[in-house]
Amino acid sequence: MSRGDVEPLSTAIGSPFTQKRLGPEEIEQRALEIIKSRGEEGIYQHELWKALGLDSREGSRLALRLLKKGLIVREPTVHNGRRTYKLFLARKERKRTQISINIGAVIEVPCFTCKHVEKCYEGGYFDPATCPILRKWLDQKVALMKKIISH
């Protein structure tokens, strides 16, 4: 296992046949430990689901609970040509100036104000991988970055 890899939950507490079933709070705690271990790099949400042995629906619900509690933040991104989210631990200890910069960036993301955010997950009716609103926003960001780089 290389540095930065996430130890699968089944490895951490035993084989899938011997591991005890974790409750929601234990899974949340384990998720936070994994996300924290990734630091500034963050973790693709599908990597977290895999490490926890969750499917995308269960994983998305878990992420929404952690988001609602203010324990994590997520940023839309593209991985292997697919739109997805990266998850980061919310860092309440950040300095005020850093917070204002980060909140400004988050507010731009259409998901931040989307009325469907609680029903949006990979494979769902509302899915970040196929969302036209998110795609348009990402396309605009990519176009802007290309313009900046070309100058």
The residues that touch ligand SF4, with contacts defined as CB under 6 A, are 110-111, 114, 116-117, 120, 126, 128, 131, 133-134
Q: Between 90 and 117, name the residue whose CB sits nearer to ligand SF4.
A: 117
DSSP string of 33-50, one letter each residue: HHHHHHGGG-EEHHHHHH
Q: Minimal distance in Å, beta carbon 126 to ligand SF4?
A: 4
> CA 103 to CA 70: how far, in whole Å?
13
What is the H or E stretch that residue 99 is in? helix 96-108
Give residue 72's Cα distance to chain centre: 8
Q: Which is nearer to ligand SF4, 9 or 63 (CB)?
A: 63
DSSP-assigned beta bridge partners for residue 74: 87
* CA 124 – CA 138 distance, rounded (Å): 20
Paired strand residues for 84: 77
Nearest residue (CB) to ligand SF4, 8 versus 110: 110
Q: Which is nearer to ligand SF4, 79 or 94 (CB)?
A: 79
Nearer CB in complex with ligand SF4: 9/45 = 45
Q: How far is the CB of 148 from ligand SF4 (least distance, A)?
A: 24
- Shortest distance (Å) from residue 116 CB to ligand SF4: 4
| Helix, strand or coil, per DSSP, at residue 109 | coil
CA–CA gap between residue 6 and residue 130 (Å, rounded): 27
Least Å distance, CB 115 to ligand SF4, is: 8
Q: How far is the CB of 29 from ligand SF4 (least distance, A)?
A: 25
